[in-house]
């Protein structure tokens, strides 16, 4: 088998066999052929696409490029959730404690923020002392003790993805649904889970701006999961405005605590409960999604979800007191309000711009090497559908440095579209659910 | 400007600007970005295509990556011919002397054979002493003295093509009409010519097996030439069977001498005269192609074309006596006849297989590094349409080593399709002519 022939076959639109895809992934991971052949193949994949069989095979080949986790000695189903990323998307910190409190195991491996979207690891690190880099034995201990663990990616899990993603990033081959699907699914399946809930975001703050693209990716991921033998569902959810009201690392932890204590904004609470409900159902803890919703709601109401969050924080070296008294979390020195230029209704909020504003204040990363200021961020006072008076505050910026304040202010001001026309509040949060039967079926929600 | 953005733009089907294409060609030639970005871009070009404006810009950018030749101090128009390559295609050795004898200048830069197709340089080197590697000053002297010169590619001419072709060869990006066009046209225009005649082969022995592909490439090359301000024409010619009767380096020189002395097979003579006629016409030596045909025919009839071939041979260090007495050319030690298994008519000859048979005998190269045996080859006794008796010789193999004789015999035997049905002799040799008006017009011939 020669790599140049496999490049040609994909270039000409042929379906590659299992052996051919394994040859490519193994050969590239082991540096048996150079980057310039892999990038040509990746571009051919991007432009020619892959069948769902090819994607499943690619996912498995990538999965087996490194170690996979095995929790089969721990009793109970292992479940996880993956989000394609958004602004203010902090549901992991809420649903993992809910689901662990409800009796399932959540061995969650998350990423860091890059660009306008935040990352779960950065949010966790806003909690003083919280350690996301656990040795494998300690990860097992924490999971066994409290039913959940929240850690970062290691070099040993799916090394093929690490090498392929670095190449895709500089060769214009990131935006391939087939490659995105295999990248996400290989890493999630390597966690050793039985079931997976996908939160595929669409809208102005999402990677997929168009709903059709989000649905397409979701179908690919669900079909891949089914082919590999996992219980799986994808929820297509709204990212046309930030989720919740708080954007920024410590600020988002505060909002998660609010929800876990029974408060918080409706959209964030509803989505967290919905995702947790699907995890309960797919993890066979409840006989239906509706029973899952009830269980999730109860885990919040009786305080056990919040206690679970405090417990995992303690087990991972963090200070649970900063959750019981959130004034102990990092706080920015300064506040600046952004006010509405005129009376009207909020028509739309460009979430990507809000995310960039937070990044500009220091809360995110432009490059992987950048350090993050956990204290800074943005608190939204108005969301789509809300009425606003002239000069009324629409947001408050939490900042430490004046350096790029002006830029953040201007991004926030222009991200709000305010006009006289009355609009519906609470735009539909969950747009579609794609359940894992062999051929994914899309149904309205 | 960042290369990753230009990869994305081409990937998404956008037309690149002059500055963008220049940035890519210059940046790659000067190693300002790595092979893996160039190969992704090349694959995007292959799958998305290029507009004729982009191809012309790419051609010019490649042209200016190195030195270009300038003969403006030498009086007279400079013309050349380029063939996309075939089996038994030896017209360069015939038409260059005809055109130089007729008063135009032919500064011809040729290539070596690779795979099943032969190369002009290998054929010339079958002439004892013939030197195709002339220093620039000597090249000018020879051209000035006898109106023609026959040399190989140097490192200094279009270095971008050398680097790009090596990468295309290993990344499945050879078969892009846009890239093929820019590669050919940049090298030909770098020769400092005023007019160019293209011989685009189609059929079983050609790179483009399908006529539509040959016409497509020819249109691209003609439009590129016109955009760059050259007089240009493309002839789409038959390569469904070998051209002439002799395949192999010294054997092909013998056949060229036959034609230059007024003999030789009809197809080879007709095509050589036709291509020479277009060179005379585009080089403004004659007022029409028909007058070009007459001039070419006269140059053969009065012996001046043959004398020109002897003259250039002497000036380039070769022995003209080996042309006057071809028994002085290298000769293989052994002959083996291949005979027809039954009575019938030749329906078709797979030219590619004939070319490979010659390669197998040692007359060509499988890899660039292989050395060539100039003496070996194949003499065809029968062509398409010819009647053949049972056991009558259809070919004679000229060989030096028994090692792969059996393989060559079997290739030749299976390349001939012989059956009872009578077929027309002399299949149409010139299928279309594509003349260089701004929008190329194809007309039947």
CB nearest A40 (choices: B4, B11, B43): B43
B348-371: average pLDDT: 90
A chain contacts of residue B39, beta-carbon cutoff 8 Å:
36-37, 39-40, 43
The mean pLDDT value for B3-22 works out to 97
CA distance B35 to B28: 8
Burial of A95 (0-12, 13-18, 19+ CB in 10 A): buried
Along the 445 residues of chain A, how does pLDDT read in single tens digits? 899 999 999 999 999 999 999 999 999 999 999 999 999 999 999 999 999 999 999 999 999 999 999 999 999 999 999 999 899 999 999 999 999 999 999 999 998 887 788 899 999 999 999 999 999 999 999 999 999 999 998 889 999 999 999 999 999 999 999 999 999 999 999 999 999 999 999 998 898 899 999 999 999 999 999 999 999 999 999 999 999 999 999 999 999 999 999 999 999 999 999 999 999 999 999 999 999 999 999 999 999 999 999 999 999 999 999 999 999 999 999 999 999 999 999 999 999 999 999 999 999 888 878 889 999 999 999 999 999 999 999 999 999 999 889 999 999 999 999 999 998 877 789 999 999 865 556 666 6
Does the CB of A234 have a partner CB in chain B at under 8 Å?
A: no
Tokens of A444: 């309205």
Q: Which two structure tokens, joined as six digits, stand for B55?
A: 């191809």
Q: How many residues does chain A have?
A: 445
Q: Give the residue, B260 or B436, on which the prediction is more confident.
A: B260
For residue B48, give how far its alpha carbon lies from the nearest alpha carbon of chain A (Å): 9
Of these residues, A78, A81, A82, A163, which one is catalytic? A82
Give the pLDDT score at A114.
76
In this prediction, residue A444 carries a pLDDT of 64
As given in the structure block, the two tokens for residue A145 are 């003790």
Scanning every residue of chain A, which has its alpha carbon at the shortest distance from the alpha carbon of B164?
A36
What is the interface pTM, i.e. ipTM, of the complex? 0.86
d(CA B326, CA B258): 10
Candidates A4, A11, A170; nearest CB to B47: A11
- Where does the pLDDT of residue B443 fall: very low under 50, low under 70, confident under 90, or very high at 90 and above? low
- B43 CB neighbours in chain A (<8 A) are 7, 11, 39-40, 43-44, 47
Predicted pLDDT of residue A140: 96
The SS3 assignment for A195 reads strand
Query: Which residues does B276 contact at the CB level (< 8 Å), separation at least 6?
Result: B94, B95, B98, B99, B102, B292, B296, B299
Say how far apart CA A172 and CA A397 lie, in whole Å.
34
- The fraction of chain B above a pLDDT of 70, given in percent, is 98
Who contacts A439 (Cβ-Cβ below 8 Å, separation ≥6)? A223
Return the residue of A nearest to B9 by Cα: A172
Chain A residues touching B167 at Cβ < 8 A = 36
Residue B171 contacts A where some CB pair is shorter than 8 Å: yes
What pLDDT does B444 receive?
65
Are A46 and B173 in contact (CB < 8 Å)?
no
Could you give the CA distance from residue A357 to residue A350 in angstroms, rounded to a whole number? 11
CB-based contact A167 B36, cutoff 8 Å: yes
Q: pLDDT value at position B426?
A: 75
Mean pLDDT of the residues in chain B:
94
Prediction pTM value:
0.88
* B183 given a catalytic annotation: yes
Q: What is the pLDDT of residues B320-348, one digit of tens each?
A: 999 999 999 999 999 999 999 999 999 99
- Least Cα distance to B45 among B219, B196, B188, B220 occurs for B220
Q: Within a 10 A sphere around the Cβ of B134, how many other Cβ atoms?
A: 20
Residue B320 near residue B314 (C-beta atoms within 8 A): yes
* Residue carrying structure tokens 């007024």: B262
Q: Is B172–A43 a contact, with Cβ atoms under 8 angstroms apart?
A: no
Q: In terms of CA atoms, which chain A residue is nearest residue B42? A: A40
Best of A171, A176, A177 to disrupt the B interface (most B CBs within 10 Å) is A171
Distance (Å, whole) CA B277 – CA B289: 5
| Nearest Cα residue to B120 out of B130, B110, B131 | B110
Helix and strand tally (H, E) in chain A? 17, 14
CB distance A172–B39 less than 8 Å? no
Segment A266-303, tens digit of pLDDT: 999 999 999 999 999 999 999 999 999 999 999 999 99
Spot the catalytic one: B161, B194, B240, B258.
Answer: B161
Tell me what pLDDT residue A437 has: 66
Query: What pLDDT is attached to residue B204?
Result: 87
**Which residue on chain B is closest to A9 by alpha carbon?**
B172
Per CB-CB distance under 8 Å, the chain A contacts of B174 are none
Confidence of residue B442 (pLDDT cuts 50, 70, 90): low
pLDDT tens sequence across B142-171: 999 999 999 998 889 999 999 999 999 999
């Amino acid at each position: 088998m020669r790599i140049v022939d496999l490049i040609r076959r994909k270039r000409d639109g042929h379906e590659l066999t299992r052996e051919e895809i394994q040859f490519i992934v193994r050969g590239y991971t082991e540096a048996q052929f150079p980057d310039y052949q892999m990038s040509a193949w990746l571009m051919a994949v991007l432009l020619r696409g892959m069948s769902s069989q090819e994607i499943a095979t690619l996912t498995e080949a990538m999965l087996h490029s490194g170690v996979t986790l095995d929790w089969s000695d721990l009793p109970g189903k292992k479940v996880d959730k993956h989000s394609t990323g958004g602004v203010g998307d902090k549901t992991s910190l809420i649903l993992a404690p809910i689901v662990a409190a409800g009796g399932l195991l959540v061995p969650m491996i998350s990423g860091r923020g890059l660009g306008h979207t935040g990352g779960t690891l950065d949010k966790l690190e806003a909690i003083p002392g919280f350690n996301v880099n656990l040795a494998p034995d300690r990860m097992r201990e924490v999971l066994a003790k409290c039913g959940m663990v929240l850690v970062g990616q290691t070099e040993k899990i799916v090394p093929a993805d690490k090498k392929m993603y670095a190449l895709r990033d500089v060769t214009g081959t990131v935006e391939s649904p087939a490659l995105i699907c295999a990248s996400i699914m290989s890493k999630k399946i390597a966690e050793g889970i039985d079931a997976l809930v996908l939160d595929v975001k669409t809208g102005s703050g999402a990677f997929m701006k168009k709903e059709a693209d989000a649905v397409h990716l979701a179908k690919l991921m669900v079909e891949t999961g089914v082919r590999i033998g996992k219980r799986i569902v994808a929820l297509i959810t709204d990212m046309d405005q930030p989720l919740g009201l708080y954007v920024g690392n410590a600020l988002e932890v505060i909002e998660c605590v609010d929800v876990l204590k029974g408060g918080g904004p409706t959209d964030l609470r509803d989505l967290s409960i919905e995702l947790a409900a699907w995890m309960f159902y797919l993890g066979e803890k409840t006989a239906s999604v509706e029973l899952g919703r009830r269980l999730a709601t109860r885990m919040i109401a009786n305080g056990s979800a919040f206690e679970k969050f405090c417990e995992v924080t303690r087990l991972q070296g963090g200070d649970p007191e900063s959750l019981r008294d959130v004034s102990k979390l990092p706080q920015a020195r300064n506040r600046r309000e952004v006010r509405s230029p005129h009376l009207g209704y909020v028509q739309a909020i460009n979430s990507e711009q809000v995310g960039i504003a937070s990044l500009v204040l220091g809360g995110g990363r432009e490059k992987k090497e950048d350090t993050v200021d956990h204290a800074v961020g943005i608190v939204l006072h108005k969301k789509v559908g809300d009425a606003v008076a002239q000069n009324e505050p629409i947001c408050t910026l939490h900042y430490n440095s004046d350096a790029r304040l002006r830029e953040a202010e201007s991004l926030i001001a222009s991200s709000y579209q305010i006009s006289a026309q009355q609009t519906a509040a609470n735009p539909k949060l969950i747009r579609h659910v794609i359940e894992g039967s062999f051929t994914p079926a899309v149904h309205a929600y």
